[in-house]
Structure 1
Amino acid sequence: MFFGSIVALITPFTSENCIDFDCVTQLVKWHIDSGTSAIVVAGTTGESPTLSDDEKFELAQHVVDVSQGKIKIIVGNGSNNTYASCQLTRRLNSLNIDGYLTVTPYYNKPTNEGLIAHYSEIARATTLPIILYNVPSRTACDLPNEVVAKLSELSNIVGLKDATADLSRIDKLRAKCGASFTLLSGDDETGFEFCRLGGDGVISVTANVVPQTMAAIQAHLNNNNIKQAKALELDLVALHRDLFIESNPIAVKWALYYLKKIPNALLRLPLTMISSQAKQKIEQTIVKSNLYPQEN
Structure 2
Amino acid sequence: MFKGAGVAIVTPFKDGKFHKEAYERLIEFQIQNKTQALIVLGTTGEASTISYEEREEIIKTAVEKNAKRIPIIVGTGSNSTETSVKYTKQAEELGADGILLVTPYYNKCTNKGMIAHFTEVAKNTKLPVILYNVPGRTAVNIPPDVIVTMSKVENVIGVKEASGNISQVLEIKRLVSEDFMIYSGNDDQVIPVYACGGHGVISVASNIIPKEMQEMCEAFMEGNVAEALKIQLEYKKLIDLLFSEVNPIPVKAALSEMRYIEDQLRLPLTSMEEGNKIKLIQEMKRLNLV
TM-score by length of 2: 0.98
Deviates more, 1:22-31 or 1:223-232: 223-232
Q: Which is worse superposed, 173-182 or 188-197?
A: 188-197
Match of 1:89 in 2: 88
Structure 2 spans left out of the alignment, 5+ residues: none
Q: Is the 8 A contact 2:188 2:232 kept in 1?
A: no
When the two chains are superposed, the root-mean-square deviation of aligned CA atoms in Å is: 1.0
Q: What is the distance in 2 between the residues matched to 1:246 and 1:172?
A: 30
Cα separation, 1, equivalents of 2:249 and 2:37:
22
- Choose the corresponding residue for 2:271, options 266, 270, 273: 273
Q: Provide the residue aligned with 1:2 in structure 2.
A: 2
90-99 vs 74-83, which deviates more? 90-99
Residue equivalent to 1:56? 55
Q: Is the Cα–Cα contact under 8 Å of residues 205 and 252 in structure 1 kept in the other structure?
A: yes
Q: Which residue of 2 aligns with 1:287?
A: 285
Deviation at 1:3, TM superposition (A): 1.8
The answer on whether the counterparts of 2:173 and 2:196 sit within 8 Å (CA) in structure 1 is no
Paired residue for 2:38?
Answer: 39
Contact kept, 8 Å, 2:161 with 2:182, in 1: the verdict is yes
Task: Please name the residue that 1:117 is paired with.
Answer: 116
Amino acid of the structure 1 residue aligned with 2:249 = I
Superposed CA offset, 1:92-144 (max 9, x none): 21122210000000000111100000000000110100000000001101111
2-side partners of 1:170 and 1:178: how far apart? 13
- Kindly provide the amino acid, as one letter, of the partner of residue 9 in structure 1: I
Aligned-partner residue type, residue 210 of structure 2: P
What secondary structure is seen at the aligned counterpart in 2 of 1:93? Answer: helix
1:211-270 deviation line (CA, Å, top 9, x unaligned): 1100111111111111111222221000110101111000000011112222x1100000
Query: Secondary structure of 2:14's partner?
Result: coil
Percentage identity across paired residues of the two chains: 38
Do the aligned residues in 1 keep the contact of 2:3 with 2:36 (CA within 8 Å)?
yes
- Equivalent pairs, count: 290
For residues 95 and 198 of structure 2, what CA distance do their matches in structure 1 show? 27
- Contact in 2 for aligned 1:4/1:218 (Cα 8 Å): yes
CA distance in 2, matches of 1:192, 1:27: 26
Task: Detail structure 1 runs of 4+ shifted over 6 Å in the superposition.
Answer: none
Alignment match, 2:225: 226
Give the whole-Å Cα distance in 1 for the aligned partners of 2:197 and 2:138. Answer: 26
The 8 Å contact of residues 135 and 142 in structure 1, kept in 2 or not, is answered as yes
TM-score for the superposition, normalised by structure 1: 0.96
What does residue range 59-208 of structure 1 map to in structure 2 within 5 Å? 59-208=58-207
AA of the residue aligned to 1:2: F
User: What letter matches 2:31 in structure 1?
Assistant: I
- The amino acid that maps onto 1:231 is K
The answer (yes or no) to whether the contact 1:235–1:291 under 8 Å persists in 2 is no
Deviations 1:196-221 (A, max 9, x none): 33110000000001111001111111
Shift of 1:291: 4.6
8 Å CA contact 1:89, 1:126 repeated in 2: yes
Q: Deviations along 1:37-68, whole A, 9 cap, x unmatched?
A: 00100000000110112211221111010011
Question: Residue 17 of structure 2 aligns with which residue?
Answer: 18
